[in-house]
Amino acid sequence: MASRVYIHELIDIVGHNRAKYQHHMTANWVPIARAERGQRCYGVWSTIGSTGRWPEVVNMWEFDGWDGLVRNFEVETAGGRDQDPSLMEWWATAAQFRRGGVDRILVPDDDSRGIEDLCAHGVRGELYCHEITRVPPGQAASFLEAVRTTGESLYETAGLELVGAFRTAMRADDECITLWSCPNWASWGEFEQAWQASGDLTAWSKEMIGFGATWQRTVLVDAELAPLRIGRQPQESDRRPLDQV
């Protein structure tokens, strides 16, 4: 049984409101979520638009296993509603900044660390490689094992560190998400070139294709108050008026 599970969100942002949305999620929402739901912020990032959808925000929320996720949904739907009534004002503000999104429930592999451990050990990157990988049904766990035994060491040659490896729940065990920290843009450039002909990662690419995997990698950067950036969970003292963000 997983000791932690996650909600992973891809959020579509309205216009130039990405910074306001991120501040609203971190400084305004995280303290409430921790107190009422036992929900921790794993990360809030901006997608670099040239590598994926834009303008987009990626959120991840950490819970203490399935029981923690159940508690979150119980709070959300208390009283027979589909939305926590205490968050009506918060949702109204958030709705100004976002138009919708797509969520997943993720289960980490055994070697993935929780956000408090990651922060305590100073794990962070100037940027992050965020990979969504599709595999044949039933093969997600086996693919993550291959990442740990082969892919991880190859990525490390370019200076990348595996922050977390996850499989998506509530589907045919056919999707994985991996998150890698990268120390700087120069390292990222070398890493991407290593996927090209005769590069160090071409053999891994062929192994993934042989596994039946298809993947998309996007580049993310931390929000201002993302835990991996500031080394802790955002707090009420971090709040400032949104018109000053």
Read off the pLDDT of residues 181-217 as tens digits, 9 standing for 90 and up.
999 999 999 999 999 988 889 999 999 999 999 999 9
The position carrying tokens 């707090």 is 235
Q: Does residue 90 sit in the same domain as residue 157?
A: no
Q: Does residue 96 sit in the same domain as residue 128?
A: no
The overall average pLDDT reported for the chain is 94
pLDDT band at residue 86 using 50, 70 and 90 as cut-offs: low
Q: Does residue 37 sit in the same domain as residue 58?
A: yes
Residues 6+ apart with CB under 8 A from 9: 57, 58, 59, 60, 61, 101, 102, 103, 104
Q: Is 232 a member of any domain?
A: no
Q: Does residue 147 sit in the same domain as residue 76?
A: no
In this structure, what DSSP letter does residue 170 have? S
Q: Is 139 a member of any domain?
A: yes
pLDDT for residue 83: 66
Q: Does residue 172 sit in the same domain as residue 142?
A: yes
Cβ atoms of residues 56 and 47 within 8 Å = yes
Alpha helices in the chain (DSSP H): 18-23, 30-37, 65-76, 88-94, 115-120, 140-146, 152-156, 185-193, 202-211, 227-230
CATH number of the domain where residue 184 is located: 3.30.70.100
Does the pTM surpass 0.85? The reply is: yes
Q: Which residues pair with 215 in a beta bridge?
A: 133
Q: Is 241 a member of any domain?
A: no
Q: Is 196 a member of any domain?
A: yes
Q: Does residue 131 sit in the same domain as residue 176?
A: yes
Q: Is 240 a member of any domain?
A: no
Q: Does residue 125 sit in the same domain as residue 58?
A: no
Residue 82 confidence (pLDDT) above 80: no
Cβ atoms of residues 165 and 147 within 8 Å = yes
Q: Does residue 94 sit in the same domain as residue 129?
A: no
Q: Is 238 a member of any domain?
A: no
Q: Is 182 a member of any domain?
A: yes
Alpha helices in 110-182 (DSSP H): 115-120, 140-146, 152-156
pLDDT for residue 198: 82
Cβ-in-10-Å burial (0-12, 13-18, 19+) of 89 comes to exposed
Q: Does residue 119 sit in the same domain as residue 178?
A: yes
**What is the β-pairing status of strands 175-182 and 161-168?**
antiparallel
Q: Name the domain count of the chain.
A: 2
Q: How far is CA 204 from CA 101, 150, 162, 165, 221, in A?
A: 31, 8, 15, 17, 25
40 HSE (CA, 13 A, CB side): 18
Q: Does residue 165 sit in the same domain as residue 215?
A: yes
Write the pLDDT tens digit of every residue in 144-170. Answer: 999 999 999 999 998 999 999 999 999
Residue 232 confidence (pLDDT) above 80: yes
59: containing domain: 5-107
Q: Does residue 140 sit in the same domain as residue 103?
A: no
Q: Does residue 134 sit in the same domain as residue 52?
A: no
